[in-house]
Every structure is written in C-alpha cells, then in structure tokens.
Structure 1
Amino acid sequence: VEMGGVAFQTWGEGEAMRFAAVQMSYPSTDWNDRNVCGRAERQVWFATTNDRSIAAVKDPKKRKERLKEAFSAWHNPVTQLIEGTPADSILRERDVSHKYSVRPVLNLAEVIDYEHKMQCRKALAGGTSGDDDGGGGNAVPASMAGPGPAVVFVGDAVMTVDPVLAQGFTFAMESTADLAQTLRRCCGSGMGAQIPAAATDDSDSESPPEACSLKFNPDRLRDELDFRYHKRYDRLLGLLRSTELVQALAQPESGTVSGFLSRNFVRPMMRLAPEIVKRRVFNYTMRYSLGLTLKTGEKTKEKESGAELSTER
C-alpha cells in the first residue's frame, strides 16, 4: 500500500486487537512505480484480533470488509491502509503467543545433567575419579560434570516469546555471535587435542594405533557451550518479563486483575507522570529486556571465563 512512509503500531484494549505498519522499498523496473533511486515504496501492515468470526469468512472481499469494520473507530491511517490493500493481498494466518516459555516445563536433559554432576561430586569427595580402575586423586574435568548441550540452537529456535518488543532478529544475532566467539576461543591454534585411535580387528598388526589429532579441544568446547547455554536463560528471562509487562500495560485483558490494574491505575498514572519519569522507566525496561542490567558479578564471571580460555590457548 502506498501511504508515504508512515510507521506506527497501535494496541487496542479488547479482543487482542493490534495494528502496525512499516515502510518497505524494493527495486522496481516500472518507471511509473519507482522513485529517483529506482525503488518502489510500499507500506506493509498487519492486524491482529481474536474475533474468530472474521477469520472464518472464506471470501477475501467479505473478510476485508469485516476487518475494516472492526477497525473503523481507529485512528488514521488504519482504515485507509485496509481500504487501499487489494483483498487478495491480505493474508490470513493464525497467530499463537507462547507465554512462559523460557525453558521446558520438564527438561529431561537437565535432570540427567544434575544426576551426573552429583555422581561426579561423590567421586571427588571420595578421592577417586569415579572410574572402576581405582585411580585415586584424579580431578574430574569440568566437562565431565555434565554432558551439556548436544545440539546448539540459534535464532528463533532458541525462543518462542511473543514478538512484542521486536527483538527476535536481535536475539538471533546475539546467539550467533556467541557461537562464533565460542568457536574462535576453542578452535584456534594451540587448542588441539590428541585422542587415541580406535582399536582395529587386524590381529596381525603389531604396531600400536596412532593418535588422532583434533583441531579443537572437545572438553573445552563443551564447557564453553554449557556456560553460554545456561547464561542465555538470564537474557531470555529478562526479555520474557519485559514482554509480559509491556503487553499487560499496552493491551490489558478484560476480566483479569492485571487488566483491571492497568486500565484503572497504571494508565492514569502514566498520563499524569512527567515526561522525564516515563522516559527513564521506558529506557530501563528496554535495557532490562536486552540484558544490559545484569549484575556486575555475572559480567565479571563471563570476562574471567573468556580471559582464562584466551590465556590457556
């Protein structure tokens, strides 16, 4: 839709209604539909509602009219955007919000990891390595204290938080950067490891099997991945809490305590609050959602971990 570059997002108070629009441009060869830079300019918009009667309409033209009727009382240019969009270009999709999904309700991997750590601690307390060969006094490496993640997820595969704060792409870049930094630390020069080759069935061979040289240290790589795997929950938990707070304030649900408090107390206070107060609250909420308000000890621990890996490398 051509609307002159308007970008906004508006939330309603009922039926989970939301409307947002943002400018988009793309290369175009049509001289009648391009700017001086050779690009066509459009407006991309989306609307949400939990009114199932609108989604149940099969005919695109009738569904467009129902949608326009539902948003008829909204500010401009909401109705103009809906009206100016061809009915066949309005896509209908089911929008599902996953709440409280920082981690699984029952994570069997963490249960196994915890039991394995307890076994290793008992072995260390008894002065043995935990092996059946009776080797005493051997310290159990950190990587042996738990298997850690077997698969590393990045991007949207890591989280299923409702995209209220629009940080999905940001979180994807962060997780990818963490993985790249881990690989640089653990797979650089001097970080290789020697592992014995598997025994062969050739009984005629008298020479011992040669060791296989790896380009990385598997124990250190697993330790680093395990550290970032658990640290990521702090960042994700902050994003989830901020999302729930913003959603409760901006789109209160009828019949709920949070909706009642938001509509009758929080919103009136926000209207009366000075601009400097609202700006500070907003800035802190965004910093918290981005993980920039973590405790100094957690940041120091991460720096020490990185320094230790770099020194030993």
Structure 2
Amino acid sequence: MLNTQHYPQMISPSLMGEWIVIASEQEFVQRQQIKTCLDGQTLTLHRDTINGVHVYQVNFESLDMKELNLSVQAAYGFVWLCIGSEKKPLFQLQEYDVEGARRVPCGAYGVRTSPLRGIENFLDMAHFPYVHTGILGAEPETTVKPYKVEWREDVDEIWATECFFTQPLAAPSSPQPQETEYVYRVASPLNAILYKVNTAAEGIIPADVVCLFIQPLSETHIRAHLLMILDDQTSSMTDMVLFQQKIFTQDKPILENHVPLKLPLEKLEIPTKADALATAYRKWLITKNWCYGVHKNTQEEQVV
C-alpha cells in the first residue's frame, strides 16, 4: 500500500482507494473532453471509443500521479475514478440493467456543503414534512416510525429497512397519498441509494431507485449527481427529472446553511431515535478513520 505521507500535496488519504464519481456520461454527448475537479485538484477527462466501447483517460493538471495507479470505469451512466488500490469493488446496482426500467439521470448540482452532510441529508426522513411539504411529507404526519439499521459486514455497507413514511406525492405517477416504504443503502462513504416502493408500479423492478453520488470538489463544496431508476411507464422524462430536481433544490439551501458545514463525528450534535441511520453512518465513518469533510472541534472550519 502506498504511503500517502510522502505525497502531502495529493488527494486526501480518506479518498484514496474509493470509487468516486467524477462525471456523467451525458457530459460527453457533444464533446470528447471535459475538465472537472476532485479535492481541489483540476483534472481533464478524455473519452475515446474503441470497438464501440467508451474508454476514459484521466490526467491531473497539477499533480504528478505517475507513482499512483489510476483506475477509471464507466458504470450506471457515470464515470468513476479510483486512486491507488481499491478498498473494494464498485457497488452493484442490478436494477440499472433491468429491461423496462426507466433510467433517469437528473443532472449534477453544486452545493456548498461537506460531502458527508450531503449523504446524511439524503438519509434523513425527519425533514420530509418541513422541507418537502406537500410532496414527501406534510403536517400533522411528522413522526418517523422505528426502523431497522444494520452494518452488512460482508459488503461493508450500511442498510436501513422497514422505513415507512406517509407522503402526499410519493412519485410523479402516484395517484393519491400513501404510506411509502423505503430501504436506505449506504454503499460507500460518498454514495447512497434509496429504494422506494411505488404502489403505482407494474412490477418491473421491486422498487424505484434513487441514487446520490457525491463528487467532492473540496471538503466544503460538492457536485451531487442524481440518478433514478423507475418503474414508471406513464410519466414523461421531463416530468420525472423535474420531480427530482424540485426535491433537491428544496434541500440545497438547508445543506448550505448547516453550521458547521463539515460533519461532526464527535458528540457535537444530539441525535434522536429518528436519526438511527445517521448515527450508524457516523459510527461507520469513525471505524474507517475517515477524516475528509469532518468537523474538528479544535480547529476553525475553512470553507473552500
């Protein structure tokens, strides 16, 4: 394993070995090369087509990466980068390849927040009635019912099951309010997946899928890439994208006004029973000695 102490100018040690999204394949529709950013470092991403297969090459502009192994792969409509030896393979997303399921990329959103705050907000049901009023929740139905949380050590993922919440408009195709069943999956520190049972679906996939893939531009600035895989045969692509965009744009100002922007892993914030999943996520990060985007009580937070 590479000793990152010899490379102080490089990517954060917490990000090393992780599969991190760096672009959507949609960004290459009319061009072969784009510039983007990872942990404050500018990189160029170039696409070639070899035997009908898209192949991507990454070059960092200001870093000498010759002694590091850069692995790049395209999966689920996105381009993923791993710097150094992978900690584990990229997670599986079986619904993406199911015939009849509709794959709905919903764009990327710049947000001034910690990558960890972005994931934790995605895992939180308690804010539904207050932030997504009339869509994912509404008063007086504000209680988060008890649910189960587990760390699945065989795949090193955090799962929450038996999550139920009453929603006025669970999906674009929902005919009426319903009690929606959720399953949350934290596949890696920067990637989370939501499985959402759609009562109006036709049984093509067990549940609609909503994915949040975080590209860390810095410890306090992200691009949030969103993907949906839906069993919705009636809504237009535009309506499905607009539905998810509305949800995320309601979340964005909340995320950008967190104090501190970085996520405290120590007991700076007091959790409730509704925060069982967020608490498990924080404990999981601690077991990994994760330090990127983490608020330190002894230091002032710098916003980049």
**Structure 1 length as normaliser, TM-score?**
0.26
Larger Rg: 1
Higher relative contact order (CA 8 A, sep 6+): 2
Please identify which structure carries the higher helix content. Answer: 1
Please identify which structure carries the higher strand content. Answer: 2
